[in-house]
Amino acid sequence: MPELPEVERVRLTLAAHLLGQAVQHVRLHRRDIITGSNRPAALLAGATVHDIRRHGKQLALIAPDGRCVAIHLGMTGSLRYSQQPPNVATDKHIHVVWTLAGGGMLAFRDPRRFGGLWTFPSFDALCEARWSSLGPDALAIVPARLYAALTGTHRPLKAALLDQGILAGLGNIYVDELLFQCGLDPRKWADSLALPRVQAMVRAMRTLLRRAIAAGGSSISDYTDGNGEAGSFQNRHQVYGRSGKPCRRCGKTLVGFSLAGRTTVRCPRCQK
């Protein structure tokens, strides 16, 4: 499940292959994976990949003239670069394949299809239609902004942190990990945190996300980066997926429960 660290990994690995490369043609195997024009030019055919940006969990491939494709990987989406053509005949989940002038190929694959592509004539149009409804990126947000957002909502902390309109980039894995790092109960009210605690949370969040990126992200089910490489941060998870196991800090049994419609794990001793 790609969250900020995984999407950033994809961005970094793809940038190395795609920036400055011309898109020769695009092969679309599923129309309904795309919102907006699905004409080849809208999918960057004939253009150069000028920039690859990320906001929260979303990516955008941008052409010099501003044309862009926003990509959300959803649960099982992947973008993979290769020198060889992907085998579309045997893999029914490859929905889009870009062929680059240099011969490289980029494939968008998404078995569960919670992800998708959105095409726009300009970067401004993308921002207006999609990114403006997102909160600040989790790596860029300043404490005062997060404090104001949390103070303005009366919900469990976990529910607020999962809300992409408040903060863009965290999903179920990193919210649970962050709350453990902060020693905070996910059920605690978002509007009960004093500013110093939010300041500490932002610091912990940056550290957590940077470490996860450095480790290549978390490969839980089938996540891999743009080169098909798995990450290793799942081996360093403190709580996510560890319900019933001993807390790595205090030894007490970690407790799993449902919160905000999500599987949640916390340490009853370390998180108050």
Query: Among residues 125, 93, 88, 127, which one has the least CA distance to residue 112?
Result: 93
- Gap between the Cα atoms of 116 and 227, Å rounded: 20
| 3 catalytic per annotation | yes
| 8 catalytic per annotation | no
- Gap between the Cα atoms of 56 and 164, Å rounded: 8
| 80 catalytic per annotation | no
Q: Which of 9, 11, 54, 57 is catalytic?
A: 57
CB nearer to DNA: pick between 76 and 119:
76
State in angstroms the smallest separation of the CB of 133 from DNA: 7
Exposed (0-12), middle (13-18) or buried (19+): which is 232, by Cβ within 10 Å?
middle
State in angstroms the smallest separation of the CB of 113 from DNA: 5
CB nearer to DNA: pick between 32 and 194:
32
CB nearer to DNA: pick between 221 and 253:
221
State in angstroms the smallest separation of the CB of 139 from DNA: 15
CB nearer to DNA: pick between 21 and 219:
219
| HSE-CB of 79 using CA atoms within 13 angstroms | 31
State in angstroms the smallest separation of the CB of 13 from DNA: 20
Residues in contact with 90: Cβ distance below 8 Å, sequence separation at least 6, in sequence order: none
Q: Which of 27, 130, 262, 269 is catalytic?
A: 262
Q: What are phi and psi of 105, to 5 degrees?
A: -125, 145
3-state secondary structure (DSSP) of residue 153: coil
CB nearer to DNA: pick between 114 and 246:
114
Q: Which positions touch DNA (CB under 7 A)?
A: 1, 3, 56-57, 72, 74-76, 93, 111-114, 133, 153-156, 159, 162, 164, 171-173, 221, 260-263
3-state secondary structure (DSSP) of residue 224: coil
| 121 catalytic per annotation | no
Query: Among residues 59, 77, 78, 79, which one has the least CA distance to residue 69?
Result: 59
State in angstroms the smallest separation of the CB of 267 from DNA: 17
Q: Which residues does the annotation mark as catalytic?
A: 2-3, 57, 262
